[in-house]
Chains A and B, each alone.
Chain A
C-alpha cells in the first residue's frame, strides 16, 4: 500500500478525480445536506452531515472524499449558512480516513460489525481531535449549539482541567454517536449497491 502511494501519487490522484469522481462530489455534498436536513427534521442530537463524504470516499477514493467534505462546508458558508467553514477541514479529514480504511480493506462491504464499529470510533476520535482545538482557539469554546451546555457542565465539575478538555469531552459525546451511526448507514448502503460500483481499490 505504502509502496503504491510513493510510486505515483499524482497518477492516483488523477485517477480518483476522473469525470466520475467529479460528478460524485456534488451528489455527496447533496447527501451531506440532506442528512443534515433530516437530522433537523427529526430533532436528533447529532450532525448527520458526513455520510455523503464517507460514501464519496468509498466509491471514488480518499481524496475525492477529502474534496467532498471540505467543499460541503465551504460552499455552504458562501451561500447559505455563514458558520462552519472553519470545520471544513474536519469533514475533509473524515473523507480521507474513510477512503484509506476502504482502500486498505478495513472498512468494506464485507466487513463484520466490529470493524464497522471500529471505523466509526476512529472517525469520531479524529473528528474530535481536529475540531476541539478549532473551537477553543478560534471560537473561545463557543459553538452556539446545544453542545455548549455539555461544555459548561464539564467545566463546572470538580475534576475539570480546563476549556480544551471540556470542549473535547462535549464534542466527543456528539461525534461518537454521529460517526458510528453514519458509518453503519454507509455500511448498509454499501451492501445494497451493485458490486460494479464498489471496484475502486
Chain B
C-alpha cells in the first residue's frame, strides 16, 4: 500500500540523515519561542537559521517556493489588520498616509512582528516535513516509548488518506457523469457537497469492521512485546544536537527570567 504523497522530498543530505527526534527537538524549541517570545529580532534570526538549514538539507529551493506561497497571505493580512486598525497599539503615530488611509507606525510593527512570528513556526514544521520520511518519524517515536497503538494510528492514517482521496475523485467523476453540477452559484455548490461526501463516508465507515477483524487476526491487542520492521539508530551527533536544543532552551528561559 502506498503511503500518502506527503511533501517529503527524497534527497541525500545531512539534514535527511538526522534522527527525526533531533528535528522534533528543533520543532519543540521553536514552538516554545513562538508561545513565549515577544522579540521580532529573535524570530527573524530563527527564520534565517531555518532557511540555512533548508539549504544544508538540499531542499532550499522547494522550501522557499512553498514558504512564500504560505506566508505571503499571512504577511499581507497581518499588515492589513494591524497596519490599518492597530488593535493592540496605544500610540497614534502615523507611518504614512494614503488619501484617507493612515498606516500607523506601531500597527506596521505589529504586522511585521506577527508575520515573522508565524513564519518561524511554519518554517520549522515545513523543514521537518520536507526532510523527514513519515515512516521514520513513527519509528523514532517508538524508540522513546510511544505506545505502538499511537504509531499504528499515524501510519494507518498516512496509508488510508491517499486511498480515500482517490475515492473522492472517483465519486466526483461519477456524480458529474450523472449530471451533478459542481460549478455555479454557491447554493448549487453547497447542494453538491452532500451527494459527494455521503458515499465516501458510508463506504469507509462500513469498512471499519473488516479492518478491526484484520487487526485482531494479526495480534493487535496482544500484550506481547511488539517489534518494528524498521530500526532507527540514534548516533552521537543526534544526541549532541538534541542536547544543544535543550541547552538553547535553558539559556532562553534563564534570559527570560533574569531580563
Q: Give the complex CA separation of A7 and B150 in angstroms.
A: 27
Q: Which of A112-160 contact B (CB under 8 A)?
A: 138-145, 148-149, 151-152, 155-156, 160
Secondary structure at the A interface, as helix, strand, loop or mixed, is helix
Pick from B117-125, B237-245, B247-255 the stretch touching chain A: B117-125
Q: Which residue of A lies closest to B113 (CB)?
A: A140
Question: Is A183 positioned at the interface, with any CB of B under 8 Å from its CB?
Answer: no
Bound: A48/B82 CA distance, A = 29
Which of B73, B74, B198 sits near A189, CB closer than 8 Å? B198
> From residue B170, how far is it (CB to closest CB) to chain A in Å?
11
Closest Cβ of chain B to A166, distance in Å, is: 7
With the chains together, A75 CA to B134 CA distance in Å?
Answer: 10
Q: Is B55 an interface residue (CB 8 A)?
A: no
Decide if B44 is an interface residue (CB 8 Å cutoff).
no
User: Would A27 and B208 be within 8 Å (CB), given that A78-B137, A155-B87, A156-B84 are in contact?
Assistant: yes
- By a CB distance below 8 angstroms, the chain A residues around B194 are 185, 188
Distance (whole angstroms) from the CB of B258 to the closest CB of chain A: 25
On whether the beta carbons of A22 and B204 are closer than 8 Å, the reply is no
Q: Is B25 an interface residue (CB 8 A)?
A: no
Q: Which chain B residues border A151 with CB–CB below 8 Å?
A: 81
Range of interface residues on chain B?
35 or more
**Can you list 18 A-B pairs, Cβ within 8 angstroms, ordered by A?**
A23-B208, A34-B168, A34-B197, A39-B193, A41-B172, A55-B201, A55-B205, A82-B122, A82-B128, A139-B114, A139-B118, A140-B81, A142-B81, A144-B74, A163-B81, A181-B190, A185-B193, A197-B205
Taking Cβ atoms with an 8 Å cutoff, the residues of B that contact A are: 4, 6-8, 34-35, 70-71, 73-74, 77-78, 80-82, 84-85, 87-88, 110, 113-115, 117-118, 121-123, 125-126, 128-129, 132, 134, 137, 149, 152-154, 156-161, 163-165, 167-168, 172, 182, 186, 189-190, 192-194, 196-198, 200-202, 204-205, 207-209, 211-212, 215-216, 220-221
